[in-house]
Structure 1
Amino acid sequence: MPLELVDDCRLALGEGVVWDSRAERLYWIGIADRQVRWLDQDGGKPGALHLDTRPGTLAPYRDGRVLLAVESGFALLDTADGTLEPVAAVEADRPERRMNDGKCDPYGRLVAGTMTLDDPRVGGPLYRLEYDGDGTARVVTLREGMLIPNGLDWPEPDQLWHIDTPTRAIRLFDYPEHGPLADPVRTLDVSALGGDPDGMTLDAEGNLWVAFWGGAAVRCLSPEGRVLETVELPTGKVTSCAFGGPALDVLYVTTAGGGEPGADDGAGSLYRYPGLTTGRPARHWAGPGF
């Protein structure tokens, strides 16, 4: 089946698409647009909330709310009424930085990094939201020196694939349940491919599906780095991808650039491509009960 346009939302920076298998709802965000958007499986009209802060990533929570990484930390959003409840601060004294892409680890803890808005050469940490035994939220540093921390996923509970976009590389780390990341154990150099690696997801076989900013494509890579498949998009700034639908057999793709001069190619819209393969269910945030 061909690529399909799902929502012609024309976001300046569409990102963070994720399928909530419990609610049967697809979420994605507009970072610069300060939006959280969603589409229910019943095919109704897409919903949207406008925020007072820029969201960097989103993870479903068991009570129907969603956990966001926003400009100055982590916060819970109730999409029913727009209430945003702070959970933990991250670099709240650094207005020149914001949180970026992230995902829940195999233990249900959200991992996300920060980036410097005006100078991506200034590195920041990759963080993980954890809880102490008394239920107090704390933010721990997994690794320093990330430039633009982006796509990530876990092929096994003790392994993590991670993209730091300006390096044009995808790195595999050993992932301890506690403590920081050591040096990568494998690096996939994708600099010869068009565009820069951005968001990513894994399929059921462990292959990497990577959105390429400036590359007008999502590419499927084997764990050894071979290009297995390419999904071409009508617009260049492809930002994130995730498998969704009840059978996890639909690839959803976000894009950016809506509202830019000459952006008449569907930039900033949400797309889907059914029937490619099957993905893995997104992990929900475990919350303070972890």
Structure 2
Amino acid sequence: MSEDFSGVSLRDKTAIVTGSGLGAEIAVTLAKRGANVVVNYVSEGSKKRAEEVVNQINNLGREAVIVQASVSDIDQIQPIVDAALKLSKNGKIDILVHNAAQGLEANLIDTTVDFYNQHFDCNVRGPILLTKAALPHIPRGGRIVFISSAAARLGVGGQTVYAATKAANEALCRTWAKELGHTYGVTVNNVNPGPIATDQWFNSDEQFLKDMQPLIDSTPAAPRVGEVSDVAPLVAFLCTDDARWVTGSSLSASGGLIQF
């Protein structure tokens, strides 16, 4: 019997992946499945890593373009869509992965309006406006995936605003699954990682990492922090044709820290 992996192929699909960190691994994983990818970065500090990701994708025989833009800035959203349309062979944007996020820590008593706006502008308003801008170009069978967080359900101290934005991502996922299903033929899903060993994790303050260690040790799958390679393949699956009957769902990628 011949093997058939066509259902998980992303060959010649055009994908937008916002943000860095986990986004870099997602972009490369999508390319390994055959997609051409828009690689997004925000600051000069992340430009080198974004260029490395583009080179990795090109070395896989796929195409990639790099675009510096922040989804927090309304005026910088259309350039991301334009970059995808320029990359696309057929004028379509098949995959949209909302990975860009602000994730700073602050207790309720220390939360300011600016801190609130910083997180909601990036984590909630950004995906809403980017999806609205991309939607006219997403074909039937298109895929939208949010990278949410276990924080939306765990109730970790210091994450008043961040957790609220990630819970909002879950709500958007469920709402859009209904709005975009019949009319547009698009699926919308959500992946909830637990703690992941990204630059943001390693740049956390020592006390935060110490406070998180009991949670890490209690992870059912293994007593370790998650790796980007634990999560990216799950995102890639949700972008494939084999995932066509999955929409409005939240997939726990937390090693069992949260169970739905």
Confirm or deny a common fold (TM above 0.5): no
TM-score (norm 2): 0.34
State TM-score, norm by structure 1. Answer: 0.31
